[in-house]
Amino acid sequence: MTPLASLAEAVGPRHCLHEPEDIAAYVADWRGIRGGTPIAVLRPGSTAEVAEILRRCDAHRLAVVPAGGRTGLCGGAILPPSAPPAVILSLERLNRIRDVDARDFSIVAEAGCVVQQVQQAALEADRLFPIAWGAQGSAQIGGMLSTNAGGIRTIRWGNARDLVLGLEVVLPDGRVLDDLRRVRKDNSGYALRHLFIGAEGTLGVITAAALRLVPRLRAVETAFVAVSSPDAALALLSRVMASGAEVIGFELIKRVCLEIVARHGPHLRLPLPLDSPWYVMVELAAAHPAVPVRQMLEAALFEASEAGECTDAVLAESEAQRAAFWRIREDFPEFSRAAGPAISTDTAVPVSAVPEFLARAERALAERWPEGEMVALGHAGDGNIHLGLKAPAGVTREEWVARAGAADMVVNEIAVALGGSFSAEHGIGLSKLHVMSALKDPLAIEVMRGIKRALDPRGLMNPGKVLPPN
C-alpha cells in the first residue's frame, strides 16, 4: 500500500485531501505566506485517528505539520519550502467540548475547538474563559496552547499556559499521553504538559485540554485615554492597579497606529482627537455587579489628570461602544497590513522598562532608517510591545525587507539587553529561527534539542521549526 493509501485508510478518504484545489487553503497562512506542498492534508475526527495517523507517518517516515486555525504569525503551521515529504494534520474536526464543570471552574475542550467556542461554552455555564485576542474567532485551542498565546488579558490571568490543568497529547510514535486531569495540585514528577505548551507542534499533537475557568465578569468599564508619554502610561497603570477593581486590559498605542486605523478602517470612529503622541486603552472589571468599577476608574483617571499623566479620556457608555474601542485595537493587524509593508517584532520587556525600550528602539531605528516610521502598540500592562518599522509610501515589501530587514534584530537586541524576550507571544516558527540562533542562550537550545530527541527521535514532528539548524 502506498503511504497516501495507508493514510486515507486511517482517516477515511473524504478527510485525506490531496487535490491542489482542496489543499490550497492549508498551504498558506494568515500572513499570505505560501509554504511547501504536503503529500496530503489529513483531517482526523478523533484522538484514535490522530494516533493511527502518527503511527503510520512514523512507519513511512513522513513528517507531520499540525495545523489549527492557521492564524499564527511565525509560519509554524506551513511547510518550510525545502521540507521532507510531509502531511499537514488539521485538527479542525476535533471540535467537541467534552465537559464543562462550573463547580470545578474547568472545561475540557478538543484541540480543534475555536477559542471563541470555548469562551461561549464557559459563558453558558456562567463562567469566563479569559484568554482573548483579535484572532479568537479563527484560532483553535491546539494552536493557542502550542504557541502559548497571550493576548489582551495576560495582565490579569497570564498566558495560555497559566490556564491549563491537563492535556491529552499524541506522541510522535502514536502513543497517547493521557494527562487530561482537572486536579489543581499534582507534584508527582515533571509537569509534562508544559513541554507541549509553546512547543509549536514539534514534540507531539495536542488533541484535548482541560482548561481553567474564572468567575464571569459582572461589571466591566473601559476607557480610551490620551497620555503624554509611555512613562505617563506606566504611572496610570500603577494608579489603576491600586483602584480596587481588577485591571483586565492595559494597551499602549502610538498615535501613528490610530492614524493608520483612521485611514484603513473608516467604519471605526476614533474615540479621541489625534492630538496626543500616545494613547492607552484600559479596562477594569469585577465579578460582582455591585462593585463600583466605573467610579473606581473615574477616580483613577481624575487623579491621573490632576497629576498631569493623562490629558484626555473617554469612558465607553455602552457595551457597543466598548466593543467598538476594542475593534480599534484588535483589528489593527488587518489595518497595518493594508497600510503597507512593515518589519514587525513581538518583544517583551519588564513592565518598568517599557519607556526605555521604546525610546532606545526609536532612536536606533531613526538613525539607520530615517525614512521609516516606528509603529508601536501592545499589551503594555504585561510588557509586550509589538513594534514595527513601516516603509515609506511606494516601497514594496521585497524592497523594504532588503533595505530594512535588519530592523527586527536591532529591536530584538534592545529588548534582550533590557532583560526581555524577542518572542513574547507569537513563538518562533520559521520566521524567527535566525533570532533564536543569534540571541537565545546556546545551553537552552542544547537542552531543547535533547528534549526533542527524547520525544521525537526521528525528527518528524514539524521539522525545521523552533530549533535553528545545527
Ligand X SMILES: Cc1cc2nc3c(=O)[nH]c(=O)nc-3n(C[C@H](O)[C@H](O)[C@H](O)COP(=O)(O)OP(=O)(O)OC[C@H]3O[C@@H](n4cnc5c(N)ncnc54)[C@H](O)[C@@H]3O)c2cc1C
Q: Please pick, from the candidates 71, 276, 347, 423, the single residue that binds ligand X as defined by CB under 6 A.
A: 71
| 69 part of the interface to ligand X, by CB under 6 A | yes
Q: Please pick, from the candidates 35, 38, 130, 201, the single residue that binds ligand X as defined by CB under 6 A.
A: 201
Side-chain-side CA neighbours of 267 within 13 Å: the count stands at 4
Backbone CA torsion sign across 357, 361, 364, 367: negative
Measured from the CB atom, the residue of 25 and 417 that comes closer to ligand X is 25
In angstroms, rounded to a whole number, what is the distance separating the alpha carbons of residues 465 and 200? Answer: 8
Report in angstroms how near the CB of residue 366 gets to ligand X at its nearest.
Answer: 27
Q: Please pick, from the candidates 38, 44, 80, 150, the single residue that binds ligand X as defined by CB under 6 A.
A: 150
| Stretch 324-343: interaction string toward ligand X, x if CB under 6 A | ---------x----------
Measured from the CB atom, the residue of 179 and 231 that comes closer to ligand X is 179
Angstrom distances, CA of residue 308 to CA of 224, 238, 287: 16, 14, 31
Helix, coil or strand: residue 145: helix
Q: For residues 231-246, b (16+ Cβ closer than 10 Å) or e, as one string? A: bbbbbbbebbbebebb
Report in angstroms how near the CB of residue 100 gets to ligand X at its nearest.
Answer: 20
Structure-block grid coordinates of residue 242:
491600586
Q: Within its chain, how far is the Cα of 390 from the centroid? A: 21
In angstroms, rounded to a whole number, what is the distance separating the alpha carbons of residues 331 and 324? Answer: 10
Q: For residues 343-353, b (16+ Cβ closer than 10 Å) or e, as one string? A: bbbbbbbebeb
Measured from the CB atom, the residue of 243 and 384 that comes closer to ligand X is 384
Q: Please pick, from the candidates 18, 30, 55, 299, the single residue that binds ligand X as defined by CB under 6 A.
A: 30
| 65 part of the interface to ligand X, by CB under 6 A | yes
Q: Site residues for ligand X, window 203-242 (CB under 6 A)?
A: 205-206
Q: Please pick, from the candidates 44, 72, 355, 420, the single residue that binds ligand X as defined by CB under 6 A.
A: 72
Residue 235: closest CA among 245, 222, 225: 225
| 130 part of the interface to ligand X, by CB under 6 A | no
| 426 part of the interface to ligand X, by CB under 6 A | yes
| Alpha-helical runs (H) found in 316-396 | 319-330, 332-338, 354-368
Q: Which phi and psi (to 5°) does residue 8 adopt?
A: -65, -35
In angstroms, rounded to a whole number, what is the distance separating the alpha carbons of residues 377 and 449? Answer: 34
Size of the site for ligand X (CB under 6 A): 37
In angstroms, rounded to a whole number, what is the distance separating the alpha carbons of residues 74 and 2? Answer: 33
Report in angstroms how near the CB of residue 193 gets to ligand X at its nearest.
Answer: 12
Q: Please pick, from the candidates 26, 133, 224, 422, the single residue that binds ligand X as defined by CB under 6 A.
A: 133
| Stretch 358-397: interaction string toward ligand X, x if CB under 6 A | ----------------------------------------
| 57 part of the interface to ligand X, by CB under 6 A | no
| 249 part of the interface to ligand X, by CB under 6 A | no
Side-chain-side CA neighbours of 107 within 13 Å: the count stands at 26
Contact criterion met (CB below 8 Å) for 104 and 165: no
| 33 part of the interface to ligand X, by CB under 6 A | no
Q: Please pick, from the candidates 147, 222, 345, 423, the single residue that binds ligand X as defined by CB under 6 A.
A: 147
Structure-block grid coordinates of residue 266:
473608516
| 166 part of the interface to ligand X, by CB under 6 A | no
Residue whose cell numbers read 486603552: 281
| 134 part of the interface to ligand X, by CB under 6 A | yes
Report in angstroms how near the CB of residue 369 gets to ligand X at its nearest.
Answer: 25
| 464 part of the interface to ligand X, by CB under 6 A | no
Q: Which residue is nearest to ligand X (CB)?
A: 143
Q: Site residues for ligand X, window 260-299 (CB under 6 A)?
A: none
Cβ partners under 8 Å of residue 314, min gap 6? 223, 224, 271, 272
Q: Which phi and psi (to 5°) does residue 13 adopt?
A: -55, -30
| 79 part of the interface to ligand X, by CB under 6 A | no
| Stretch 97-116: interaction string toward ligand X, x if CB under 6 A | --------------x-----
By the criterion CB under 6 A, which residues form the site for ligand X? Answer: 30, 65-73, 76-77, 91, 111, 133-135, 139-140, 142-144, 146-147, 149-151, 200-201, 205-206, 333, 425-426, 429, 462, 465
